[in-house]
Amino acid sequence: QVQLVESGGGLVQAGGSLRLSCTASGSIFSIAAMGWYRQAPGKQREMVATITRGGSTNYADSVKGRFTISRDNAKNTVYLQMNSLKPEDTAVYYCNAGIHSDPRSGLLIRWGQGTLVTVSS
């Protein structure tokens, strides 16, 4: 019933910027924490940034000072503003969210399908 759809990936030169968006749709009462993760070929998926319901953020050391996570609860959307991109940022980026579909339901963990970010040198 609940889906997350990412957008905004693409090809960019080193030093450039991209803004990723992820929108949740379906039966949603509330969304708890949301986050962005990434996975490069042959490597483990890693946390990039997370944001709680109250707006508290956490970032991987490798992206601190360059990436900013934010959310718009009215749109059920989380964003990742990526600046000063580096080739090592190249990966498939996935959004994640904990969702309550109604006031009495348990927490549902959902992942988006991913959007590819390629940073050329």
pLDDT tens figures, 35-93: 999 999 999 999 999 999 999 999 999 999 999 999 999 999 999 999 999 999 999 99
Please identify which residue in the block is written with the tokens 């490597």: 43
Tell me the percentage of the chain whose pLDDT exceeds 90.
Answer: 95
> Does 105 have pLDDT greater than 90?
no
pLDDT at 18: 98
- The answer to whether 55 and 100 have CB atoms below 8 angstroms apart is no
Longest dimension (CA), the chain: 50
Tell me the percentage of the chain whose pLDDT exceeds 70.
Answer: 100
> Does 1 have pLDDT greater than 90?
no
User: If you ran DSSP here, which 8-state letter would residue 43 be given?
Assistant: S
